[in-house]
Amino acid sequence: AAFAAIDFLLDRANKHGVRVILSFVDNWKYAGGVDQMVDFSPTAPARTGARPEDETGDFDQIGLNETAKEYEVKRHALFFTDEGAREVYKGHVRELLERVNSYSGVVYKEDPTIFAWNLINEPRCESWLVEGCEGRLQGWIEEMSAYVKLLDPNHLVTVGGEGFYAGPGSNSEGPTGDLSANPADWAAKTGQDFVANHAPESIDFATIHLWPDNWNQSSTAFQEEWIRSHAELASSVLKKPVIVQEFGKKLTDPETRGDLGERDSVYEMVNKLVESDVEEGGSLKGSLFWNWEIDLLIGATEDPYTLRPEDSTFDLVRSHALRMQNLSESRSFDCGDLK
């Protein structure tokens, strides 16, 4: 019953020709997320206190005193090394891959509707507090991506990170990316290392995210360079495709929608870069915007990122989708194109 909604989603997506990227676990949400898997672990230390509630849906450290913050950050990092937590994650992965869809009768690991698997959405192992976090996260990525490939050789696998460049103590050999291209100093202390994280053979393509509001980076110059620098490293160092897996722009007032122009400019910039690189046969192969959702919950607050079909931004999405479809029909790509 727990996976019935995903069964339905995949069945409907297949009927409409849509391909889906699924994440095995979320870094942020407690229910079914990293922190709950640590709490499920038989080998992790028992909690010394109740976990703070996810009042906004995603866990954050705002409002926590320093003692509580450090405790949660250190406990979170156990996910990548605690044996029990790793086994909980593997069991969850195995359950998904071997699940038979209750609507279509297709086993997930054999379902062409699934384009790829994310190991984890936006991983965090915060090196500002936990020593060796880059190595912990890197070892976890290598182990878990190989495990997924062992059980499911049919689908692509990626990490699911934002693409932050690593600081001192990086796992990368050779170019690691320009630290000054990160959105802020904190980005180099998340445990992520764009190059190293996507280097294993069991990782098929790279991802980046772009969040101008969350990162306080409204500059178009920064946003363009963020995408361009990753596309260059994906091509010259990783020899793999890269996608802008998440991007979006908040509306200040979702009701009046008075700043659609600002959001449109971000979409236009991303669309243009992707289309141009695809035309030139580069490493940048696509983008996924956040978000378009159906209002299923009466009275629910609308996400300030949500697109409405009548928005000018939605017209940009339509035209970009058509352009990408035309480009895909006019050329084919081989795995050796980037070698």
How do residues 129-179 score in pLDDT, each as one tens digit?
999 999 999 999 999 999 999 999 999 999 999 999 997 655 655 556 788
**pLDDT tens profile 184-219:** 999 999 999 999 999 999 999 999 999 999 999 999
Calpha distance 147→141 (Å, rounded): 10
Interatomic CA distance for residues 115 and 98, integer angstroms = 16
Beta bridge partners of 286: 243
| Whether pLDDT at 338 is above 70 | no
| 222 — pLDDT class (breaks 50, 70, 90) | very high
What's the pLDDT score for residue 39? 96
Identify the pLDDT of residue 118. Answer: 98
255 is an active site residue: no
DSSP lists the bridge partners of residue 156 as 116
Label residue 11 by pLDDT band (50, 70, 90): very high
The per-residue pLDDT for 60 is 73
State the average pLDDT over residues 294-309. 77
Give the pLDDT confidence score for residue 297 in this predicted structure. Answer: 58
Cβ atoms of residues 213 and 262 within 8 Å: no
Angle at 247 between CA 13 and CA 56, to 5 degrees: 90
At residue 265, the pLDDT reads 98
Residue 296: predicted pLDDT:
61
Residue 272's contacts (CB-CB under 8 Å, 6 or more residues apart) are: none
Mean pLDDT rounded to a whole number for the chain: 92
Rounded to whole angstroms, the Cα distance separating 110 from 117 reads 13
**Residue, of 64 and 2, whose pLDDT is higher:** 64
pLDDT at res. 299 = 60
pLDDT score for 293 = 80
Candidate list 122, 134, 162, 275, residue with the active-site label? 122
Question: If you search the block for the tokens 């692509």, which residue do you land on?
Answer: 156
pLDDT in tens, 270-285: 999 999 999 999 999 9
Percent of the chain, pLDDT > 90?
79
Tens-place pLDDT, residues 227-238: 999 999 999 999
More confident residue, 328 or 316: 316
Pick the closest to residue 140 from 70, 83, 208 (CA basis). Answer: 83
Report the C-alpha gap between 145 and 204 in whole angstroms: 10
| pLDDT computed for residue 1 by the predictor | 66
| Ramachandran sector of residue 156 (left: φ over 0; alpha: ψ -120 to 50; beta: rest) | beta
> CA 225, 182, 171, 58 torsion: positive or negative?
negative
Average pLDDT over residues 92-108: 98
Report the pLDDT value the prediction gives residue 90, as an integer from 0 to 100. Answer: 98
Residues 6+ apart with CB under 8 A from 299: none
Has residue 63 got a pLDDT over 70? yes
Q: What is the mean pLDDT of residues 245-264?
A: 94
User: Residue 310, Cβ neighbours under 10 Å: how many?
Assistant: 9
Helices (H), the chain: 4-15, 34-40, 66-77, 83-97, 133-151, 194-197, 220-233, 260-279, 312-330
For residue 286, give the nearest of 109, 116, 172, 152 by alpha carbon.
116
pLDDT at 277: 97
CA 232 to chain CA centroid, Å, is 19
CB distance 288 to 243 below 8 Å: yes
Contact (CB, 8 A) for 119 and 157:
yes
Q: What are 23-56's pLDDT values in tens digits?
A: 999 999 888 899 999 999 999 999 998 887 776 6
Give the integer Cα–Cα distance in Å for 249 and 297: 23
pLDDT recorded at residue 20: 98
Q: Which of 134, 142, 162, 246 is catalytic?
A: 246
Confidence of residue 255 (pLDDT cuts 50, 70, 90): confident
Least confident span in 10-14, 98-102, 297-301: 297-301
Predicted TM-score (pTM) of this structure? 0.93
Q: Tell me which residue of 331, 293, 334 sits closest to 314, measured CA to CA.
A: 293
122 is catalytic: yes
Q: What is the largest CA-CA distance in the chain?
A: 59
Cis? peptide before 291, omega within 30° of 0: yes
SS3 12: helix
As a whole number of angstroms, the distance between CA 34 and CA 51 comes to: 13
Token pair for 303: 């996400």
Is residue 179 within 8 A of residue 167, CB to CB? The reply is yes
